[in-house]
């Protein structure tokens, strides 16, 4: 009779083998291969930092026969890239699970595929879980930090739980080279954006700002009871802020009823509300309070 240790080892190995059919090796000309997840039969999700340029890319699936691919688009801030295969793969697409019910301490396994086409794995526990967070200008639906080693080539692969569900894509390219997993919900959302637009969608209002202190005299004259705002140093032409009436030299006091300690606070509001949403803005102009309504836009591709 198998003991508990043997049974657990066998079950983990079986789940790694099953999920491994949806994991490929990706040669993105970065000096070494990364891994990728078969999102659809002809689309691969992988780590953006492992793809250099937009030249020839080769994908090595479970069959061991390489397939040419091209870069559809990438989202640098969330380290996600989408590849389109020249020919669909005869393998099953990944089955994503819901990471919302995870708990710190649960056993997880990272799965990748090596340059030679072999499945590789690394196990550990979940050492950190939080809700939605921001990486640069990207909104990531959940912070998932596994306590395991992502060896070279693992980024872009899958993180699975004890039931064999794919929780997300592993990467060492976001948080000071420490392992993280981009949750499945974020992968699906950004993957759809890359297919339809070729780039990740980012909300913006078109302002360059810096934090400033608001003197008590100005607070009293304007009737604004906050001590810090954002000085408008540049308004981009035809931007949402320009169309909404924001002027150079204004002090932005609040947006969507949120005040600011720094520019990052403004980015939090934009990511929370999203594109095409109308938000109230309070400014100080010439010592007087001004109220406007801004419609959050989509950041143009430069």
Whether 68 and 181 share a structural domain: yes
CA–CA distance from 66 to each of 26, 28, 62, 210, 279 (Å)? 9, 13, 10, 50, 49
Q: Could you give the percent of the chain with pLDDT greater than 90? A: 63
Whether 273 and 294 share a structural domain: yes
Q: Which residues contact 13 (CB under 8 A, 6 or more apart)?
A: none
Please compute Rg for the chain using Cα positions: 23
Among residues 165, 197, 229, the one where a domain terminates is 197
CA 42 – CA 88 distance, rounded (Å)? 4
- The confidence score (pLDDT) of residue 54 equals 66
Whether 210 and 82 share a structural domain: no
- The confidence score (pLDDT) of residue 195 equals 92
Among residues 158, 175, 197, the one where a domain terminates is 197
Whether 175 and 116 share a structural domain: yes
Whether 117 and 188 share a structural domain: yes
With CA atoms as reference, report the closest residue to 52 among 30, 74, 79, 35: 30
Residue corresponding to tokens 């950190």: 128
Whether 158 and 59 share a structural domain: yes
Whether 120 and 185 share a structural domain: yes
Among residues 146, 164, 197, the one where a domain terminates is 197
- On the question of pLDDT at 176 being above 80, the answer is no
- The confidence score (pLDDT) of residue 65 equals 86
Rounded to two decimals, what is the model's pTM?
0.81
**pLDDT higher at 98 or 72:** 72
Can you give the CATH number for the domain in which 63 is found? Answer: 2.40.10.120
Whether 187 and 257 share a structural domain: no
Can you give the CATH number for the domain in which 253 is found? Answer: 2.30.42.10
Exposure letters 39-59 (e unless 16+ CB within 10 A, then b): beebbbbbbbbbbeeeeebeb
What mean pLDDT comes out for the span 33-48? 94
- The confidence score (pLDDT) of residue 2 equals 64
Whether 66 and 188 share a structural domain: yes
What integer best gives the mean pLDDT of the chain? Answer: 90
Q: What confidence tens digit (pLDDT) does each residue in 272-281 have?
A: 888 899 999 9
Structural domain count of the chain:
2
- The confidence score (pLDDT) of residue 295 equals 95
- The confidence score (pLDDT) of residue 267 equals 85
- On the question of pLDDT at 137 being above 80, the answer is no
Whether 103 and 211 share a structural domain: no
- List the domain range (segments joined by +) for residue 8: 4-197
For the record, the structure tokens of 120 come out as: 């590789």
For 133-196, list the strands marked E by DSSP: 133-135, 138-140, 143-147, 158-160, 166-175, 178-183
Q: What confidence tens digit (pLDDT) does each residue in 220-234 have?
A: 999 998 999 999 999
Whether 26 and 75 share a structural domain: yes
Q: Which residues pair with 294 in a beta bridge?
A: 279
Angle at 152 between CA 149 and CA 158, to 5 degrees: 65
Whether 244 and 155 share a structural domain: no
pLDDT band at 111 (very low <50, low <70, confident <90, very high): very high
CA 66 – CA 58 distance, rounded (Å)? 6
């Amino acid at each position: 009779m198998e003991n508990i240790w043997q049974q657990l080892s066998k079950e983990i190995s079986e789940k790694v083998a099953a999920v491994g059919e949806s994991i490929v090796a990706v040669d993105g000309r970065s000096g070494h291969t990364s891994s990728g997840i078969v999102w659809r039969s002809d689309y691969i999700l992988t780590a953006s930092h492992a793809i250099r340029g937009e030249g020839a890319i080769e994908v090595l699936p479970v069959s061991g026969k390489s397939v040419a691919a091209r870069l559809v688009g990438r989202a640098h801030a969330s380290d996600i890239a989408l590849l389109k295969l020249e020919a669909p793969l005869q393998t099953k697409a990944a089955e994503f699970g819901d990471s919302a019910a995870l708990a710190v301490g649960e056993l997880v396994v990272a799965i990748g595929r090596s340059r030679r086409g072999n499945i590789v794995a690394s196990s550990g526990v979940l050492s950190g879980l939080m809700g939605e967070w921001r990486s640069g200008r990207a909104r990531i639906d959940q912070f998932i930090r596994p306590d395991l080693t992502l060896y070279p080539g693992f980024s872009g692969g899958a993180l699975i739980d004890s039931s064999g569900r794919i929780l997300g894509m592993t990467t060492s390219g976001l948080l000071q080279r420490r392992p993280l997993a981009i949750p499945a919900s974020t992968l699906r959302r950004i993957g759809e954006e890359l297919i339809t637009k070729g780039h990740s969608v980012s909300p913006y209002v078109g302002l360059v700002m810096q934090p400033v202190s608001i003197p008590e005299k100005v607070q009293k004259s304007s009737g604004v009871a906050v001590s810090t705002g954002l000085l408008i140093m540049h308004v981009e032409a035809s931007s949402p802020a320009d169309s909404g009436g924001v002027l150079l030299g204004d002090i932005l006091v609040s947006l969507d009823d949120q005040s600011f300690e720094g520019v990052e606070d403004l980015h939090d509001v934009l990511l929370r509300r999203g594109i095409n949403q109308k938000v109230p803005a309070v400014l100080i102009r010439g010592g007087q309070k001004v109220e406007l309504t801004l419609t959050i836009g989509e950041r143009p591709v430069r």
